[in-house]
């Protein structure tokens, strides 16, 4: 009998979603601090056969945690200990910011989905960078060559004008690149006004070029660089991004972020309308995310990594993304519904499938 679904139904489902998230995440971090997750690492650890090398980096498992869960890099060790092959922290901005007013996180339980308009709430690149540095050192000490990977996702500070966006991303890069196993430029969240306009090739080219050059310079090594795109791009725009990524020799693309669409939901239209604006994630995004993945895989070189995310619930979903050409797969929303044994269950099932 699985315990967590009962805990979710009788405890977390009755709490404000953002408070429930902090409560559950704090519990995982407390377990790490008192040594419980370290003691249970063998129980949670991915099998050696799941290890793969992507972008020149060794990942213990193809399955990792997407950006958005650990925005401030406060739980990298705890999340690594419970089985995620990589943890992508952020989104981090150049300046600290509180994000959008609450409430800003909403569950669609019937759809196994979430709508959020968090707005990149975080403590800023300088504060987060110190935490990432400390966590990576501890991972190296505890895990040696088989350590989980740490990705860093950066975005635009809300108060910064679009015309000054490149400088803002560079401020984050200057602080964070040296500590990142890989770096992600997020231009696809719907919750920062105007951000998605940066997905146009004309604005994306100088942004990615300058971030990539600075990242390698400050780190003294090549820092794999990826761009994260929205599922709402049309086929022509996806092709343009793929062409640009190929031209710039990016290391990868993350497909996809949350959607502003609301099609095909089981939840009542009145409920969805009352929630209002925000990015939808979870099971309803599964098909579109898979479609974008297939389009990208057909358009970019085989050596370019694609990290698939959106609507991933179980090992079958992970394997479907790998079969469709993804090199790595991420999840997030299902973690809220499935609980702390989620990564372990996916890794165990993948071990059998692969």
Q: What is the mean pLDDT of each run of 10 residues along the chain (354 residues)?
A: 84 95 97 97 96 98 98 98 98 98 98 98 98 98 95 98 96 98 94 87 95 98 98 94 97 97 97 97 98 98 98 98 98 96 98 92
267 is known as an active-site residue = no
Answer whether CATH 3.10.20.30 is correct for domain 4-257+264-353.
Answer: no
- The first and second tokens of residue 180, run together, are 């990142």
- Known binder of ligand: residue 71? yes
In 3-state terms, what secondary structure has residue 51?
coil
pTM over 0.95? The answer is: yes
- Known binder of ligand: residue 240? no
In 3-state terms, what secondary structure has residue 113?
strand
- Known binder of ligand: residue 256? yes
Task: Say if CB 48 and CB 314 are below 8 A apart.
Answer: no
Q: Measure the CA angle with vertex 92, ends 322 and 65; round to 5°.
A: 30
| Whole-angstrom distance, CA of residue 272 vs CA of residue 270 | 5
Q: What pLDDT is attached to residue 354?
A: 83
- Known binder of ligand: residue 153? yes
CA dihedral 15, 19, 23, 24 (to 10 degrees): 80
Q: What pLDDT is attached to residue 3?
A: 86
Q: What pLDDT is attached to residue 1?
A: 54
- Known binder of ligand: residue 332? yes
Strand partners, 252: 226, 305
Q: Among 172, 189, 267, 289, which one carries the catalytic annotation?
A: 189
If we measure between CA atoms, which residue out of 326, 341, 244, 284 comes closest to residue 114?
284
Task: Say if CB 51 and CB 61 are below 8 A apart.
Answer: yes
25-34 long-range Cβ contacts below 8 angstroms, 24+ apart: 25/69, 25/70, 25/75, 28/75, 28/78, 28/79, 28/82, 28/340, 29/74, 29/75, 29/78, 31/78, 32/75, 32/77, 32/78, 32/81
């Amino acid at each position: 009998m699985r315990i967590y679904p009962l805990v979710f139904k009788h405890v977390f489902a009755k709490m404000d979603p953002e408070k429930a998230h902090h409560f559950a995440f704090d519990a995982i971090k407390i377990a790490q601090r008192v040594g419980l997750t370290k003691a249970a690492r063998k129980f949670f650890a991915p099998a050696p056969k799941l290890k793969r090398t992507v972008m020149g980096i060794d990942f213990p498992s193809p399955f990792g945690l997407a950006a958005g869960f650990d925005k401030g890099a406060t739980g990298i060790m705890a999340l690594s200990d419970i089985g995620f092959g990589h943890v992508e922290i952020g989104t981090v901005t150049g300046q600290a910011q509180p994000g959008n007013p609450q409430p800003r996180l909403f569950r669609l339980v019937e759809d196994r989905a979430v709508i959020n308009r968090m707005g990149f709430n975080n403590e800023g690149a300088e504060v987060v960078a110190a935490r990432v540095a400390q966590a990576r050192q501890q991972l190296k000490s505890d895990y040696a060559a088989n350590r989980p990977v740490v990705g860093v996702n950066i975005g635009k500070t809300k108060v910064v004008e679009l015309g000054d966006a490149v400088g803002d991303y560079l401020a984050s890069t200057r602080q964070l690149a040296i500590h990142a196993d890989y770096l992600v430029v997020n231009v696809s969240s719907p919750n920062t006004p105007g951000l998605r306009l940066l997905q146009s090739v004309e604005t994306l080219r100088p942004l990615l070029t300058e971030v990539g050059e600075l990242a390698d310079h400050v780190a003294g090594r090549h820092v794999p660089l990826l761009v994260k795109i929205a599922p709402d791009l049309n086929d022509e725009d996806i092709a343009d991004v793929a062409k640009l990524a190929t031209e710039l020799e990016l290391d990868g693309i993350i497909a996809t972020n949350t959607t502003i669409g609301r099609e095909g939901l089981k939840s009542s239209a009145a409920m969805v309308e009352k929630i209002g604006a925000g990015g939808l994630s979870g099971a309803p995004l599964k098909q579109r995310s898979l479609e974008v993945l297939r389009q990208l895989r057909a358009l970019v070189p085989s050596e370019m990594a694609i990290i698939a995310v959106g609507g991933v619930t179980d090992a079958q979903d992970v394997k479907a993304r790998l079969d469709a050409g993804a090199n790595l797969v991420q999840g997030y929303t299902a973690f809220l519904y499935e609980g702390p044994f989620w990564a372990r269950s996916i890794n165990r099932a993948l071990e059998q499938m692969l």
